[in-house]
Amino acid sequence: MSRNKPSRRSFLKVSAAAGGGMLLGFSWLTSCENEKARKASPELQMPEKWVTVNAFLKIGDNGVVTIMSPNPEIGQNVKTSMPMLVAEELDVDWKNVVVEQAGLDTDNYQRQLAGGSQSIRHGWEPLRKTGATARYLLLQAAAQQLDVDAASLRTENGVIYHDDSDRKVGYGEVASLAATLPLPEEVTLKDPADFKIIGHATKNVDARKIVTGQPLFGLDLQREGMKYAAIVHPPAFGMKLKSVDDAAVRALPGIHDVVTINAAPEGVELQWSDVNAFPQLVAVVGDNSWRVLDAKKKLNIEWEQTSPPESTADQQESMRLALMDGKAEEARRDGNPEAAFARAATIIDRTYSAPFLPHNTMEPMNFFAHVTDERAELVGPIQTPEFLRKTVSAVLDMPEDNIDIMMTRMGGGFGRRLYGNFGVEAALISRAAGGVPVKLVYSREDDMTQGTYRPEYLVRYRAGLDEEGRLIAFHVRGTGAGESPVFANRYPAGTVDNYLAENISTESNVSTGAWRAPRSNFIAGAEQAFLDEVAEAAGKDPIEFRLELFDRAINDPVGEDNDYDPERYAGVLKLVRDKSGWKTGNDPRGVAAYYCHNSYVAQVLEARLEAGEPRVNEVHCAVDCGIVVNPEGAHNQIEGGIIDGVGHALFGALTFTDGKPDQQNFDTYRLIRHIEAPRAIHTHFVESDTAPTGLGEPSLPPVIGALANAIYRVTGERVYDQPFVQRRELRG
């Protein structure tokens, strides 16, 4: 049973649609538009009577169902998987579901945000309850119409059957009556064993549009009278705008205006999402993108230094000094680590590093804005539309109710589009340029040099073993640009009597933010590479060594704040051991296991050397993310995370000279190529009846550790600094 109280009023609204049909509103939903089914199925005809509104599940007079989609889609496939939850409990045929993208509407939706791999997790019960409540009301309406007991009715694919009298009615025939009935106090949700849609592979509903080039993305947007805008920001971190001479540019053909904006004016309260090292910009507005991109090169701009320029070598040295001698914040202490290290027979002491990383989404940052004295309309790819509206309201001094934001599909996000500076900039440019509709488009160089990078990190691990090879002491101390990567209460916390975790933050004028699997994207690889060394020093197989620690956490855990389930953690490690055919004691492959975003992932990776560089042959990946809603999308998410992790671990690095990024486009920034991707990835999901957890990010962090351990198996050399390939080349 799932109760609709006490939040029933805010969660569900039911009303009769004008002309027939039922509208069932709900406070949180993400879904998709099944355009392929609409075109391909002759049975799917649009109803003659229904009303299109935001935040409502609509049932037309012919039984077709429409689900509004309020949440951003960044390629994580929620526009397919989320409506599956509603359709499952509503008991409709998937081919009869049509979904429309909703704009930002905080009155009717909650958590219109894409981030943290939490969409399915947060929507699991509310979305199913939405479908189940609608189904209950339809059954009650059918019972009245047929003059039978509702308990004698059953539903199947949008039709209500009364088997005793061999009668049936479609959902559309009773939808208007159902809309007038009182909401139930509680509804019964399906047993997972009865699922017909959830757990079955379903194609991405936007796939046909994507591959045929139909307009879905922000870059596709066109409006009558629209101008294009290009920005110029300071060439290096620690600099700001001093003056600009735009006379030559204003005289160029096709140029509408040159404006200077400040996205963080004094006295304006900014949101957490307003990370931006360069709020003061010069923007060129013109008839097309080529004109403005060319014209901005002709601006005569003077910059001034506001803080010392940073270079990569200096940054790394500052971090190393902080790590070795800086004052640390103690995040967790179990037992007496100092005394345990003093009596240890063997101490392993290793340091790991990773550089800044840009996000490099396939679609560069862009946003459309049309700002008048009364209203502002914004359209574009954004993961945090609600926070964007708050900031636009503040900088424009315009009520939020006068600002409309519509989300487009995103050509990648990876955390970059959590930070909506480009949307704020578009709004300010439109206003400064006289209220013309403007589409701001970043070049790749604008995007890669603007900031909001994955921080560079440094972490030091120490482990103490007794004479019998038992782990008796463990110490981790981490630092990074603006934050430490250490998660104090994650494994191996809870498995060692004497444990210490410490954090140090290193200052930097380089702006940083979330990058796919924040912090975990570095610390998992370092931790798992270190544990392999500890296992080797203890004379134990790396999987058996980890399982012994999990046994301790299961049977006699240390501390009470361990944020993982050791049985599920050990479960994925055992599953990947069995599925990969791991050879205990002498397997030539690398292994890793990690917990983040509420999910557990373990991987076994086989590598080879090709022209002296490591390449990945095969990856086995075991995943415990609870119930898998859409296996096809889930496999894609796991494979994408693995390839992303392998590529950045091998090649990814952004470096600086006097505050200026050395890599500004793909001619100097190295991404993984198709030929370098793993030849085979085998994903093994744990069968579960547990509610779903995160999936978009958890497969990336551990693969870096598995790769590091596989490189050691192949070369006999440990790798401690990312990127593995470039650092090996620099060392000769």
How far apart are the C-alpha atoms of 17 and 35, rounded to whole Å? 23
With a cut of 60, say whether residue 623 has pLDDT above it: yes
| 578, amino acid identity | D
User: For 394-412, what is the mean pLDDT?
Assistant: 96
Give the domain extent around 372. Answer: 218-306+359-450
How far apart are the C-alpha atoms of 673 and 691, rounded to whole Å? 36
Do 222 and 109 share a domain, yes or no?
A: no
638 Cβ neighbours under 8 A, 6+ residues apart: 621, 623, 681, 683, 695, 699
- Domain assignment present for residue 529? The answer is no
Residue 122's pLDDT is what? 82
Phi then psi dihedrals of residue 406, to 5 deg? -120, 135
- Domain assignment present for residue 226? The answer is yes
The answer to whether 651 and 725 are in contact (CB under 8 A) is: yes
Residue 179 binned pLDDT confidence (cut-offs 50, 70, 90): confident
How far apart are the C-alpha atoms of 271 and 400, rounded to whole Å? 14
How far apart are the C-alpha atoms of 317 and 73, rounded to whole Å? 40
User: For 206-213, what is the mean pLDDT?
Assistant: 88
Q: What is the mean pLDDT of the chain?
A: 89
Residue 118's pLDDT is what? 83
Residue 33's pLDDT is what? 32
Residue 606's pLDDT is what? 98
How far apart are the C-alpha atoms of 180 and 24, rounded to whole Å? 11
* Alpha-carbon distance values, 311 to 316, 508, 510 (Å): 9, 11, 11
Residue 58 binned pLDDT confidence (cut-offs 50, 70, 90): low
How far apart are the C-alpha atoms of 175 and 524, rounded to whole Å? 51
Instruction: Please choose, from the candidates 448, 386, 374, the residue with its C-alpha nearest in 3D space to the C-alpha of residue 420.
Output: 386
- Please say which residue of 416, 450, 484 terminates a domain: 450
Do 275 and 188 share a domain, yes or no?
A: no
Task: State the number of CA atoms in the 13 A half-sphere of 149 facing the CB.
Answer: 3
112-135 residue pLDDT tens? 888 888 878 888 888 888 889 889
- Please say which residue of 450, 482, 510 terminates a domain: 450
DSSP code per residue over 119-153: HHHHHHHHHHHHHHHHHHHHHHHHHHHHTS-GGG-
Residue 629's pLDDT is what? 95
- Among residues of the chain, what percentage have pLDDT more than 90? 75
Residue 4 binned pLDDT confidence (cut-offs 50, 70, 90): low
With a cut of 50, say whether residue 377 has pLDDT above it: yes
* Alpha-carbon distance values, 66 to 9, 44, 86, 603 (Å): 22, 12, 11, 40
User: For 155-177, what is the mean pLDDT?
Assistant: 91
DSSP code per residue over 273-309: T---S--EEEEEEESSHHHHHHHGGG-EEEEEE-S--
Do 727 and 614 share a domain, yes or no?
A: yes
How far apart are the C-alpha atoms of 407 and 674, rounded to whole Å? 30
Q: Which two tokens stand for residue 573?
A: 């490690």
- Among residues of the chain, what percentage have pLDDT more than 70? 89
Do 437 and 302 share a domain, yes or no?
A: yes
With a cut of 50, say whether residue 659 has pLDDT above it: yes
User: For 439-451, what is the mean pLDDT?
Assistant: 96
Residue 326's pLDDT is what? 76
Q: Which two tokens stand for residue 596?
A: 């983040």
Residue 68's pLDDT is what? 67
Do 259 and 148 share a domain, yes or no?
A: no
Do 194 and 238 share a domain, yes or no?
A: no
Residue 48's pLDDT is what? 53
Do 611 and 676 share a domain, yes or no?
A: yes
118 Cβ neighbours under 8 A, 6+ residues apart: 597, 694
Residue 61's pLDDT is what? 64
- Please say which residue of 157, 174, 206 terminates a domain: 206
The answer to whether 398 and 428 are in contact (CB under 8 A) is: no
The answer to whether 332 and 489 are in contact (CB under 8 A) is: yes
411-441 residue pLDDT tens? 999 999 999 999 999 999 999 999 999 999 9
- Domain assignment present for residue 558? The answer is no
- Domain assignment present for residue 490? The answer is no
| 612, amino acid identity | G
Q: Give me the helices (H) in 472-563, please.
A: 520-537, 542-555
- Domain assignment present for residue 411? The answer is yes
Q: What is the CATH number of the domain that holds 600?
A: 3.30.365.10
Give the single-character DSSP code of 659: T
Residue 63's pLDDT is what? 60
* Alpha-carbon distance values, 661 to 358, 412, 519, 655 (Å): 10, 22, 22, 6
- Domain assignment present for residue 385? The answer is yes
Q: Which two tokens stand for residue 197?
A: 């849609």
Q: Which two tokens stand for residue 387?
A: 């926070």
| Strand pairing category for 438-441 and 366-371 | antiparallel
Do 444 and 581 share a domain, yes or no?
A: no
For the chain, the domain total comes to: 3
Q: Which two tokens stand for residue 99?
A: 């979904």
Do 274 and 193 share a domain, yes or no?
A: no
With a cut of 80, say whether residue 67 has pLDDT above it: no
With a cut of 80, say whether residue 295 has pLDDT above it: yes
How far apart are the C-alpha atoms of 490 and 520, rounded to whole Å? 11
How far apart are the C-alpha atoms of 371 and 561, rounded to whole Å? 50
Do 395 and 299 share a domain, yes or no?
A: yes
Residue 195's pLDDT is what? 96
Q: Give me the helices (H) in 596-630, please.
A: none
Do 600 and 704 share a domain, yes or no?
A: yes
Residue 322's pLDDT is what? 87
352-370 residue pLDDT tens? 999 999 999 999 999 999 9
Task: State the number of CA atoms in the 13 A half-sphere of 595 facing the CB.
Answer: 21
Residue 249's pLDDT is what? 97
pLDDT: which is higher, 68 or 566: 566
DSSP code per residue over 326-394: S--EEEEEES-HHHHHHH-SEEEEEEEEE-BB----SS--EEEEEE-SS-EEEEE--S-HHHHHHHHHH
How far apart are the C-alpha atoms of 65 and 38, rounded to whole Å? 11
The answer to whether 13 and 25 are in contact (CB under 8 A) is: yes
pLDDT: which is higher, 50 or 249: 249
530 Cβ neighbours under 8 A, 6+ residues apart: 348, 350, 352, 461, 463
Residue 130's pLDDT is what? 82
Do 229 and 195 share a domain, yes or no?
A: no
Residue 44's pLDDT is what? 46
Residue 43 binned pLDDT confidence (cut-offs 50, 70, 90): very low
- Domain assignment present for residue 51? The answer is yes
- Domain assignment present for residue 351? The answer is no
Residue 25 binned pLDDT confidence (cut-offs 50, 70, 90): very low
85-105 residue pLDDT tens? 988 999 988 888 776 667 888
The answer to whether 379 and 408 are in contact (CB under 8 A) is: yes
Beta bridge partners, 407, equal 380
Q: Which burial class, exposed, middle or buried, applies to 6 when counting CB atoms under 10 A from its CB (0-12, 13-18, 19+)?
A: exposed
Instruction: Please choose, from the candidates 486, 489, 463, 604, the residue with its C-alpha nearest in 3D space to the C-alpha of residue 553.
Output: 489
How far apart are the C-alpha atoms of 712 and 534, rounded to whole Å? 14
Phi then psi dihedrals of residue 240, to 5 deg? -145, 170
Q: What is the 3-state secondary structure (H, E, C) of 580-607?
A: HCCCCCCCCCEEEEEEECCEEEEEEEEE
Residue 5's pLDDT is what? 46
The answer to whether 81 and 633 are in contact (CB under 8 A) is: yes
The neighbour count for residue 200, using CB atoms within 10 Å, is 15
User: For 312-329, what is the mean pLDDT?
Assistant: 89
Instruction: Give the dihedral sign, CA 629/633/639/642.
Output: negative
299 Cβ neighbours under 8 A, 6+ residues apart: 232, 244, 245, 246, 248, 249, 258, 282, 284
